[in-house]
Structure 1
Amino acid sequence: MERLIVNSKIELEPLKFSHAFQVFHAIDRNREFLEPWLPFVQDTETQEDTENFIQSVTSPNSGDRDEVYVIWFENRFAGLIGLKDTDRVNMKTEIGYWIIQQMKGKGVVTLSTKRLIEYVFSSSGMNRIVIRCGVGNQKSAAIPKRLGFTFEGIEREGEKHRRKFIDLEVYSLLKAECDFLVSD
């Protein structure tokens, strides 16, 4: 994993253990904003919970681990973005993201997602990227729509939130459909 420059204001830095304090406090201060759509928020009660998450995705012993990046906007913590459930045999992965409330409406996630897509398609050999969003999370669903993803349908009860399941909108983008990639 390498640092990815999005533009003069936004950078993606590989998540490190030293980010635990910032990540936890961002989640803690933005619970009401994040919790309706992100099931991990309810399980993030202490900084130790965040440290355990970071350890799980950065440990060299975690095999095909998720690739998670801190989003920096004008050198301020904005959120996280990353690859999850990567399937190297079938050359596909999923992008997940979240930002703090203060950063919404600045294009931070759209631009960060676009940069991560460019990185994935140009350097990892992936052919397919998926983004899943809770049904009703219009802000999150606007991102794959803006970036040319195809709506594939609804994954019924695809994610558990507290004691209930929510449906997910599923979007995908194939490398051949990505018109903003620079040709090799």
Structure 2
Amino acid sequence: MFAKALGDGAELRPLEPWQAEEFLAHIDRGREFIGRYVGLPDIVHDLDSTRNWLQLYADRTAADTGRLHGIWLDGRLVGGVLLRVFDTSTGNCEAGCWVEPAAAGRGLATRAVRALIDWAVLVRGMHRVEWQVAPENTPSINIAKRLGMTREGVLRENSPYRGVRQNTEVWSVLAPEWRAAHSPG
């Protein structure tokens, strides 16, 4: 187990199945806010579904095909970041994040995603980090911009969400771009 300080009393730590109660309480605090653009509140609705979802990511971590980390602020779980896709054979991964309302607008998600991308690119050698976002999700688009990602285009009506087909913007950053922007000196 590890923890990475994010500043301002926040830290990034792996989320594991034994933390299901804490995770469900976090989702319950932010269910409506998080669910505006992220389907996680529809998946995690009781303790069993929460454990199952956390176990899915524990299995992905063990198989080296995904990662899940929580964002704790002053000891309270307030958000998360993940590598939903992590394909070492192609060097491609997809990052994502969410926070509950009390943590929004503090830069926590940006700092946490930056740490995750640093690890994926600088430690694991991933070549491409993708970010998929609803065009209406301005805070998430702003994270992509702050991280130096490039908007590649829009997948039109590719994603059914709560019974309505949604568009998805695709953003990405490539390893040489990330290294150039984040190298010392």
Fold shared by both chains (TM-score > 0.5): yes
Residues 115-158 of structure 1 deviation map (CA, whole Å, 9 limit, x = unaligned): 11111111101011011111101011100111110000111223
In structure 2, give the amino acid aligned to 1:181.
H
Equivalent pair of 2:85/2:93 in contact (CA under 8 Å)? yes
Letter of the 2:9 counterpart: K
Aligned residue number for residue 19 of structure 1 = 19
Mapping of residues 1-150 of structure 1, within 5 Å: 2-7=2-7, 9-59=9-59, 63-150=63-150
Aligned residue identity for 1:56: L
CA contact (8 A) 2:155 2:169 kept: yes
Shift in Å, 1:87: 1.7
**Cα distance in 2, alignment partners of residues 115 and 62 from structure 1:** 20
Aligned-partner residue type, residue 122 of structure 1: L
Q: Quick one: which amino acid aligns to residue 176 of structure 1?
A: P
One-letter identity of the residue aligned with 2:142: A
Partners of 2:60 and 2:124 in 1: CA distance:
18
What is the distance in 2 between the residues matched to 1:5 and 1:159?
35
TM-score scaled by length of structure 2: 0.90
Does structure 1 residue 182 correspond to structure 2 residue 183? Answer: yes
Provide the aligned length of Structure 1 versus Structure 2: 183
Greater RCO structure (CA 8 Å; 6+ sep): 1
- What CA distance in whole angstroms lies between the structure 2 residues aligned with 1:35 and 1:4? 27
Kindly indicate whether the alpha-carbon contact (under 8 Å) linking 1:56 and 1:62 is maintained by their aligned counterparts in 2: no
Measured in 1, the distance between the counterparts of 2:25 and 2:160 equals 24
Contact 1:68 1:80 in 2 (8 A): yes
Instruction: Report how far residue 46 of structure 1 moved.
Output: 0.8
In terms of mean alpha carbon deviation, does 3-12 or 20-29 score higher?
3-12
Structure 1 residue matching 2:37: 3-state secondary structure: coil
Aligned partners of 2:60 and 2:44: how far apart in 1?
23
Q: CA–CA distance in 2 between the matches of 1:43 and 1:87?
A: 24
User: Does the CA contact (< 8 Å) of 2:44 and 2:53 recur in 1?
Assistant: no
- Counting aligned pairs with the same residue, the percent is 28
Structure 1: give runs of 5+ residues left out of the alignment: none
SS of 2:182's equivalent in the other structure is: coil
> In angstroms, what is the RMSD of aligned CA positions?
2.0
Normalising by structure 1, report the TM-score: 0.90
C-alpha contact (below 8 Å) 2:61/2:67 kept by paired residues:
no
Q: Which runs of 5+ in 2 are unaligned?
A: none
